[in-house]
Amino acid sequence: MALTPPLFLINSLKNLKRWLCIKRDKIFVKYILFARYLIWLNTESKIKNTNPNGIKYFTKDDFPFVVDHELGVWNRPNHHFVKRTKIRVEPELVTNVYFDPNGIRVGNKNDEVKNQVDILVLGESNTWGQGVNYNETYAAIVGERLNMNVANLGLIGSNGVQSLLLLRRYLKFKPKLIIYGFWEEHLLSNIQRCPNIDSPVCLGRPIIKRFHRKTLQVSLPKGAKLALKQYLNWYRDSSLGTDLPLLRKWYWKIRLAFRVIAERHIDNLKRGSGYQKLNSSSKKWNYAIDASKYVVSEMKELADSVGAKLVIVYLPIFFMEEINSLPIELQAHMKNLDVIFVDMGPTWYTKKNNGENFYFTKDLHLNQKGHSDVSERIVSSLKSIIN
């Protein structure tokens, strides 16, 4: 007859096994945390010791963007930094960027947008002025030519929804003219939470969502503070290049792979030069068109509430082989709303065929000539109204 161990002994052995497992897990977690600390310490020391050409790396205190729970991120108020585009561009583009107490881009350190302005300009990095100085942006040139003061509310990587929210926020300036730079990619980005940048971190932005299959509403981003913190960590790590520790490099590669997999639900997209285009045969096409109609309609309503004219400048993706027109449905919608529509497509199509250079060929943003072209078309379209 086999002897059966006493019940208390069995329970004691089970408890001992459970305790050893917990102890092992705790030791493992501590080891992982300690290893991560050593990697972080190594990265920090390399950031301090590696400083080619005197370039100053951003820290959490001087990063040019801050958390905004409506927009996701916004320009850092009362901030000045030197914008360098070094890796992809030769010669290097260096511009001085100044933000006033409201986070609005201005020309000099002590400049500030006052309580009332004549023109509000909204848009993404081409409107903001990537690669050019403030006085070279089409916003500043339009203001100078019309002898009106301007508030440039451009935001790098923004979509149409962020422009709409900024218009609501700064409508208190009571402008006479509102100019929205409708970048072609806004057709997609108005319904896409994450920007199309090759970053392992999604800097979430507000989008248009369809509720109950009918009603369109603005959906605000979540977790903006954590996302910006992680993005800053990635930005600083990637600045090390080959000096970045191998484990840290693989950590960001895995993060990027997970982000790509998570975004596979976006169908029928054509990727080129870091941008995505929505195909008209896509299931999301009607949704994207309706979202853009919503943004334009809301902007028009806000403009009417203060007696301002709304000008929508269509900026097609100009660095790809073909230059696309704004969808006919959206053009008809703008016409019905009595919006002043400026289409840069034909102008840039002609210039490309003539071999004229109106954008930075490696940085893929408008250069001084491109900004001048946009301002000329805007001023030309406003002659009948101003006179």
For residue 152, give both structure tokens: 């440039």
What percent of the chain is modeled with pLDDT above 70? 73
In a domain, residue 39? The reply is: no
Range of the domain at 312: 55-386
Average pLDDT (247-260) is 82
Q: What are phi and psi of 383, to 5 degrees?
A: -55, -45
Average pLDDT (343-349) is 94
What's the CATH code of the domain at 316? 3.40.50.1110
In a domain, residue 50? The reply is: no
pLDDT, tens digit, for every residue of 187-221?
989 998 888 767 888 889 999 998 877 789 999 99
The answer on pLDDT for 180 being more than 90 is yes
Average pLDDT (364-387) is 89
Mean pLDDT score of the chain:
82
The answer on pLDDT for 244 being more than 80 is no
Average pLDDT (219-231) is 90
For residue 229, give both structure tokens: 């913190």
pLDDT at position 87, please? 45
In a domain, residue 138? The reply is: yes
| Pairing status of strand 150-152 against strand 93-99 | unpaired
The residue type at 277: K
pLDDT at position 375, please? 97
The total domain count for the chain is 1
Distance separating alpha carbons of residues 159 and 155, to the nearest angstrom: 9
Q: Is 385 exposed, middle or buried (0-12, 13-18, 19+ CB in 10 A)?
A: exposed
pLDDT at position 233, please? 83
What percent of the chain is modeled with pLDDT above 90? 48
The answer on pLDDT for 3 being more than 80 is no
In a domain, residue 316? The reply is: yes
In a domain, residue 7? The reply is: no
In a domain, residue 23? The reply is: no
Q: With bands split at pLDDT 50, 70 and 90, how would you rate the model's confidence at 45?
A: low
Higher pLDDT among residues 17 and 131, named by residue? 131
Query: Which residues touch 37 (CB under 8 Å, ≥6 apart)?
Result: none
In a domain, residue 44? The reply is: no
pLDDT, tens digit, for every residue of 303-330?
999 999 999 999 999 988 888 899 999 9
pLDDT, tens digit, for every residue of 100-124?
999 999 999 889 998 889 999 999 9
Higher pLDDT among residues 379 and 237, named by residue? 379
User: Alpha helix (H) ranges present in the chain?
Assistant: 7-49, 125-128, 138-146, 160-170, 186-189, 224-238, 246-262, 285-305, 328-336, 345-353, 368-386
Average pLDDT (163-190) is 95
The answer on pLDDT for 99 being more than 90 is yes
The answer on pLDDT for 23 being more than 50 is yes
In a domain, residue 47? The reply is: no
Please indicate, yes or no, whether the overall pTM of this predicted structure exceeds 0.85: no
